[in-house]
Amino acid sequence: MLLLVGLGNPGARYAQTRHNAGFRVVDRVAERAGVPIEKKLFGALVGEVDVAGRKVILVQPQQFMNVSGQSVASLMGFYKLERASVVVAHDDMDLPFGRLRLREGGGHGGHNGIRDIQRLCGGNDFPRLRVGVGRPPEGWDPADYVLGSWSPAETRELDTVLDRAADAFESIARDGLARAMNLYNLAEGSAPAAGAPAPLRRSA
C-alpha cells in the first residue's frame, strides 16, 4: 500500500494557487481513476485507487499547510505504514515551472508542509514528488508568490505538467522509486523514457 499525499491549503480561495500544486496532482490521479476524494479521515479528504494491483490511498490534508503533518502521521498509524510508503507531492520554488523531481528524503527546503511532516512523522526519509513552480520575480515576497494564482502562460501548460506528475506517481507505484527517478528526473523539456503508465482503476 502507498499513501499519495498532496499538499495544499483547503478552500476555494487557494484552489488555483501555486502552493496547491500537490492537491492538483492528487486530483489528477483521482480523475484518471474516476474516484472521488471525499471521505473524511483524520482531518483529511481521502480516496482509494488501484495502481497495477497496488492499493493507493489519496490524501489531501484539510488543515492549513503548516500543520499538514497531523493528518499524515495519523494515517500512517491507521494503515500501519512506514515513511517509505508515503509519497508527498508538493510545489517547489527551486525548480523551474513544470520541472518534476522525484527524490527519496532530503530537507524541507523552507516548505512548511514538508517541515511539519518531518516533525510529526519522525524523519525525512519519505519520497517526494516535487512540482516546479519557479522563483518569484525580483522584489516579490515568496509567500505572496506561492499563494498567488498561476499566470496565463502557466495555466496553458498546467494540464501537461499534471499529467506528467500523475504518470510519475504511477511509475513509483508500478516500478518503484528508483526506476521512476530514472524515468522522470530529466532535463527540462525532455520526454520520459518509453513505458506507458499502468491504468488506474477504482479500488474494490
d(CA 173, CA 60): 18
Q: Which residues pair with 88 in a beta bridge?
A: 5, 128
d(CA 110, CA 35): 32
Contact between residue 132 and residue 96 where contact means Cβ atoms under 8 Å apart: yes
d(CA 18, CA 67): 18
For 70, the grid coordinates are 497531523
Is residue 19 among the annotated active site residues?
A: yes
Q: What single-letter amino acid sits at 99?
A: R
For 161, the grid coordinates are 505538467
For 3, the grid coordinates are 499513501
Of the residues 19, 90, 108, 111, only one is catalytic, namely: 19
For 126, the grid coordinates are 519519505
d(CA 173, CA 55): 9
- Tell me the catalytic residues: 19
